[in-house]
Amino acid sequence: MGPYDEYDWRSYDLSEMTEEQRENFKRLLAYRKESANRPPEQRLTDANLPSNRRFLPIFNTFIRSAFPATLDPGEFASLDQLEAAAATLFNPDANSAQILRKGFESLRSLAVDDEQMHTLQYAISCLLMVAMSSETDRVSAAADRERDQLKGITARNQAISLTTDRARAIAADLWEQDEEQLIRIGDMAQRVWSVMIDEGLSEHMPEQADRLKVWIKPVAPAYATKGGRAKKPPRT
């Protein structure tokens, strides 16, 4: 066996597992490796998805308890470690925790020698692995849905940002042409609104032209935000 790699199934002794159990275990490791190898920005985004935020600490604690790195080939986690893993996975309330504790006490009483204890550890490890694999699939599906929703929100926010930039560009250009300094911000909002409607950008605009004032205020010259109406230029 090569150097220990917590994400490589070959670092573990799976000889006593069935083919299905080995595949479940490999999937758990692959899920953990994929999460760890994502770019930092994506890991941060994924870690903040509601499903992952709840699940990842449970998953990592479960793996450390049920499959500790200190085990020698052919060994399985102790019943104490497996009980801790079960408590992490199922997160029982006080009453259920007592039932879980009594269940493991009963299991301990069944093993009268090392061979039976080894068989018991193996059986419980397999059961917990299947349960965690099922939970991983459920959380992964939920995270995919949340990620799709986030993409939709991100795309909409990006579209609004681009629309805002366009509104400011139009306003800045019109104010630059306003040599007599007559266009106040409310009037400019109406003008920008009309231009953007003509450009077909209404989808991501506010419902009322007056609300564009907030968008274009950062590019408004000082005279445009003064109170009162602009003075008309003198007649020549």
- pLDDT digit string (tens) for 200-220? 888 888 888 899 999 999 999
Res 166 pLDDT > 80 = yes
- The set of long-range contacts for 228-231, using a CB threshold of 8 Å and a minimum separation of 24, is 229/184, 230/181, 230/182, 230/183, 230/184, 231/182
Q: Which residue has the higher pLDDT, 83 or 75?
A: 83
Band (1; pLDDT cuts 50, 70, 90):
very low
The secondary structure of residue 233, as a DSSP letter, is: P
Look at residue 220 in the predicted model and tell me its pLDDT: 94
Give Cβ neighbours of residue 135 (< 8 Å, ≥ 6 apart).
Answer: 55, 89
CA neighbor of 17 nearest in space, from 138, 141, 139, 133: 133
Those residues whose C-beta lies under 8 Å from the C-beta of residue 166, and which sit 6 or more positions away, are 196, 199, 201
Looking at mean pLDDT, say which of 41-50, 147-156, 188-197 comes out highest.
188-197
pLDDT band of residue 13 (cuts 50, 70, 90) is low
SS3 78: coil
Place of tokens 């994924």: 46
Instruction: Give CA–CA dist 156/152, Å, rounded.
Output: 6
56-69 pLDDT per residue, tens: 888 888 988 888 87
pTM: 0.53
| Residue among 73, 71, 52 at smallest CA distance from 63 | 71
Task: Identify the CA nearest to 215 among candidates 167, 174, 176.
Answer: 167
At 81, the pLDDT band (50, 70, 90 cuts) reads very high
Mean pLDDT of 83-93: 90
Mean residue pLDDT of the chain comes to 83
- Residue 27 confidence (pLDDT): 76
DSSP annotation of 17: S
